[in-house]
Amino acid sequence: MQAQQHILLIEDDEVDVMTVRRSLRDLGVEYPLDQVSDGEAGLAFLRDPAKPRPGLILLDLNMPRMNGIEFLAVLKQDPLLKRIPVVVLTTSQEETDRMASFDQNVSGYMLKPVDYPQFVRTMQVIRDYWSTSEGAPN
């Protein structure tokens, strides 16, 4: 992921949003982070030509209006958006959610740890992978 690229966080829980922001700051991540609260807002953000195209989407599954699985179904059908890597960051340990996410070609499925130091380690794994990964062509 290039240093100029943004991260789009699609998350409705403000505590989780603050935890993601804090963990990225604690890890020294300098990628700009944009945040929306559900899948519909995520699609609107991604389709707005005035908004930056993210290099990574962090996606919660359990959200109002349009949940993460519904978001993925639409995103992965859009030829302009389908190659943006998506990492699901969720509390759901349901096998059906995990399988539905991978059926939509997510790049990863990470459980949100309750313990902050473990949450930071999870975010560090995401940061380390995406900072060294060669992204898909646009």
Superfamily of domain 6-130: Response regulator (3.40.50.2300)
Domain ranges in the chain? Answer: 6-130
Q: Report the distance separating Cα 33 and Cα 24, nearest Å.
A: 9
Q: Per-residue pLDDT for 1 more than 80? A: no
pLDDT (0 to 100) of residue 125 = 94
Query: Residue 10: is it exposed, middle or buried by C-beta count within 10 angstroms (0-12/13-18/19+)?
Result: buried
- Please give the average per-residue pLDDT across 31-60, as a whole number: 96
The pLDDT tens digits of the residues spanning 99-120 come to 999 999 999 999 999 899 999 9
Q: Report the distance separating Cα 1 and Cα 93, nearest Å.
A: 28
The pLDDT tens digits of the residues spanning 61-88 come to 999 989 999 999 999 999 999 999 999 9
